[in-house]
Structure 1
Amino acid sequence: MTEFADRWGLAADKYWLRGQLPDEKVKFDEELGVWQVAGYPEVLAVLNDSESFSADSTRLFDVDEEQAKLIKGDMAQMNGPEHIHMRRQVGRAFSPKAMDDLEVRITKLGGELLDKLAGRDRFDLLGDFIDDLSGILFSELLGTPAEHRDMFKAVDQTMDSDVQMSTVGEGGEEYFDSLLGPLLPLRDFLGDIINERRREPKQDLLSLMLEFKYLDGRPMAHDEIINFAVAVLGAGHLTSPILIGNTMLCLETFPEQAAKVRADRSLVPGMFEEVMRYFTPATTSYRATEAEVEVGGVTIPKDQMVSLQLGAANRDPRQFPDADTFDVTRAPNQHVGYGRGAHYCIGAAMARVETRIIFNLVLDRYAHLRVDPDVAPVFFGSPEFTGVRSLAVRTD
């Protein structure tokens, strides 16, 4: 049961990866001042109740004016009709037609980038290939110069912070500073592009964002558009590299499952859903209680921080038979890796298209691709994230 976690040296705090789930599915963490919700039905109940559980967790803290400028406009912090309204507007960028065009672009660009690796028997699957591919795709989506895609690495830094969300002392302020501080250069970069788009709009997401309006007809302010763009990057830019990296570790650990996928490519989409469940990248999501509310038979008071343990919920045997078994044919597979309810990941469709096409391109090119046994994978350091940031592979 601990084979996977021990083999790759995964942190002990990712207890669900070792088949360890708490008896109490809802409990208060006194050290952090946060309610921990770890069971599948309990997590699902919170995700589906946006009236009792607000996504605007920052309201529980004394956020100053400067910090507020870095948060307002972030769709992940919006609630109710305003949030739905904004999702509809940005949803145009992820339409079925856009996804069809994306598939064509990924196939062409992916092939070109793989051609540059021809003749190499070892390389970093993420650093030498998928990071570039995803960076170029998001540059084209947003409308930023592809040659400056390294600016997006500011998002990586936020996933390396080991600061945990806490309502004790200055914990909340430290947490938000650790997330927002590394993004300042990226914000300046995006702000300059947005100013260019005001003068000369193009067919890109930043130009589209300039047309966004709130329900009362107000346009989004400059800082709000930046925050919205950063949120889109945070939710989507790293999804495909991390998910494919995590997938490689799963297939390396369970060769019989890898053989099934290589023999039947129709299993690829289901394989990624199983990786999202078994080796969930974004393991934690936060909510703030709007009123006293009961979850799993436990009463949580009003104005409390709630930590949703998505990774643990995805291993709950009450929902998933043989929950600690990696099975690419698992069906149904109603995991919460992309969230659920009003805040279901808006970029999920893009992630599914991108990972499917990229993975098939790689398998077409490298029939025997495997994790390099001589180079340990490097993981992001955040306690709220479980993802590979560097993965050496061999092609022989």
Structure 2
Amino acid sequence: MTLAPPRYAFEERLDHWIDRRGVEPVYLDEENGMWRLLDHATVSRVLSEPGTFSSDFSGLAPVQEDFEAFRTGMFLTMDPPNHRKLRTLVSQAFTPRTVAGLEPRIHQITEELLDAVAGQRRFDLVEALAYPLPILVIAELLGIPAQDRELFEKWAKVLFSGDQLTENSTMAEIEAALQMIAPTIREMNEYMLAHIKYHRANPSDGLTSKLCRASVDGESLADQEMVGFVALLLVAGHITTTALIGNATISLDRHPAAAAALREDPSGIPVALEEVLRCLPPFNELGRRTTTEVELGGRTIPANSIIMANIASANRDPRVFADAESFDFTRTPNPHLTFGHGIHFCLGTPLARMEGRIAFEALNRRYAGLSVARSEPVEFQNPAMIVSVRKLPVDVVPR
């Protein structure tokens, strides 16, 4: 039986959000008591005003001790001034120059991974490339010994397992899911604390040692703060690239003329990947908490309300994007909000973009054709967790 081109489960939900945006861009979702924001202007405003729209949810629900340890350095869930201090310290070590210096090694890792499936006319692109590439890069960046890198793969799989969760999961269901991953959190914490202690005693030029040396106005990163950043880098840095490579493969499979044009002229790959990020953002929504009563879209939202800034809908707002529902692989400018906006703009964006570009440059060099296999099903991640593929069989035509 020949299967139709794959469609993400979230796309049906996206159709609903887009229809609703036209009549009610800000609304209260009665089912879960959260406010949803659907248009580009409102989402941009919310992401740009941390004083009014907080990223800190720590007071709304009890937090397990294991997760609290990670939160110490997880500046993604912090507000100023703590956010500013931690991000400034981390930025001293995780610099654009550090990322740019990874390019030759990323090329090498990519080629080695594709060499492992050379000669095969069908393989799982996630297993072969999209999943291991960012894991290997991050582990190497941090100076993780080669024999321990499988730990990173195991941790990432557990942290994004959550298949039992939906966007309407109850607090009890969420707490049960957290209980399941708590042992992994403890293992990560213990491992990384030991890793940091080693690098404090044995300095090198790697990122971990740079984090140990970072200092602003006499303040340095505590070990636990570094663990939180490493956890953020592992989860966000890894899963974003995996999602980007898989989502781009599906997008180009749906638009073969675009795929052919990029094989002919690979210089267009970076622009095309931005359109993939616009149309298929790995994370549909970003949560915020109102610190005071505020008006959005003509609605009055009380203080301490949970609001969900809908990136997927905002990225298709026709007031910002011409022909917003079309996949235009040459679209410029492309002010999508997939990597966030304002103080929480994703620090790992340059790395994800570089890994995606290098991956598709290599695929285009090796293959005259690459398409999603129709005789095997594509397996998707839980859409309540992330917009990404878990298994992506592809058919290739070698050059």
Alpha-carbon separation, structure 2, partners of 1:127 and 1:18: 32
Report SS of the residue matched to 2:186: helix
Matched, 1:359 2:357: no
Alpha-carbon separation, structure 1, partners of 2:133 and 2:171: 42
Q: Tell me the alpha carbon deviations over residues 48-94 of structure 1, each in whole angstroms, 9 at most, x when there is no partner.
A: 11110111122222335554223222111121133223222222444
Aligned partner letter, 2:91: G
Alpha-carbon separation, structure 1, partners of 2:207 and 2:324: 39
The residue that corresponds to 2:6 in the other structure is: 8
Check conservation: 1:236, 1:351, Cα contact below 8 A: yes
The residue that corresponds to 1:375 in the other structure is: 376
Check conservation: 1:277, 1:314, Cα contact below 8 A: yes
Distance verdict in 2 for CA 1:236–1:89, change over 3 Å: same
Using structure 1 for the length normalisation, give the TM-score: 0.89
How far 1:250 sits from its partner (Å)? 0.6
Check conservation: 1:155, 1:182, Cα contact below 8 A: no
Aligned partner letter, 2:100: D
Report SS of the residue matched to 1:123: strand
How far 1:290 sits from its partner (Å)? 1.2
Check conservation: 1:15, 1:21, Cα contact below 8 A: no
Which runs of 5 or more structure 2 residues have no equivalent in the other structure?
A: none
The residue that corresponds to 1:107 in the other structure is: 107
Match of 2:186 among 184, 194, 198: 184
How many residues are treated as equivalent by the alignment? 390
How far 1:37 sits from its partner (Å)? 1.4
Question: What are the equivalent positions in structure 2 for 1:202-281 lying under 5 Å apart?
Answer: 202-212=204-214, 217=218, 219-281=220-282
How far 1:243 sits from its partner (Å)? 0.3
Aligned partner letter, 2:238: H
Distance verdict in 2 for CA 1:389–1:12, change over 3 Å: closer
Alpha-carbon separation, structure 1, partners of 2:204 and 2:211: 11
The residue that corresponds to 1:73 in the other structure is: 73
Alpha-carbon separation, structure 1, partners of 2:366 and 2:309: 39
Matched, 1:303 2:304: yes
Report SS of the residue matched to 1:27: strand
Distance verdict in 2 for CA 1:166–1:222, change over 3 Å: farther
Matched, 1:141 2:135: no
Check conservation: 1:375, 1:392, Cα contact below 8 A: yes
The residue that corresponds to 2:313 in the other structure is: 312
The residue that corresponds to 1:3 in the other structure is: none
Check conservation: 1:13, 1:383, Cα contact below 8 A: no
How far 1:107 sits from its partner (Å)? 1.6
Aligned partner letter, 1:300: I
Alpha-carbon separation, structure 2, partners of 1:383 and 1:126: 20
Alpha-carbon separation, structure 1, partners of 2:104 and 2:171: 51
Distance verdict in 2 for CA 1:384–1:284, change over 3 Å: farther
Distance verdict in 2 for CA 1:174–1:301, change over 3 Å: farther
Using structure 2 for the length normalisation, give the TM-score: 0.89
Alpha-carbon separation, structure 2, partners of 1:12 and 1:260: 28
How far 1:122 sits from its partner (Å)? 1.5
Q: Tell me the alpha carbon deviations over residues 309-344 of structure 1, each in whole angstroms, 9 at most, x when there is no partner.
A: 111211222221221111101122100010111100
Alpha-carbon separation, structure 2, partners of 1:176 and 1:28: 27
Aligned partner letter, 1:8: P
How far 1:297 sits from its partner (Å)? 1.7
Q: Tell me the alpha carbon deviations over residues 323-368 of structure 1, each in whole angstroms, 9 at most, x when there is no partner.
A: 1111101122100010111100000011111111111011101121
The residue that corresponds to 1:52 in the other structure is: 52
Percentage of pairs with the same residue: 33
Distance verdict in 2 for CA 1:169–1:125, change over 3 Å: closer
Distance verdict in 2 for CA 1:387–1:79, change over 3 Å: same
The residue that corresponds to 1:156 in the other structure is: 157
The more displaced of 59-68 and 170-179 is: 170-179
How far 1:184 sits from its partner (Å)? 3.2
Check conservation: 1:279, 1:311, Cα contact below 8 A: yes
Which runs of 5 or more structure 1 residues have no equivalent in the other structure?
A: 1-5
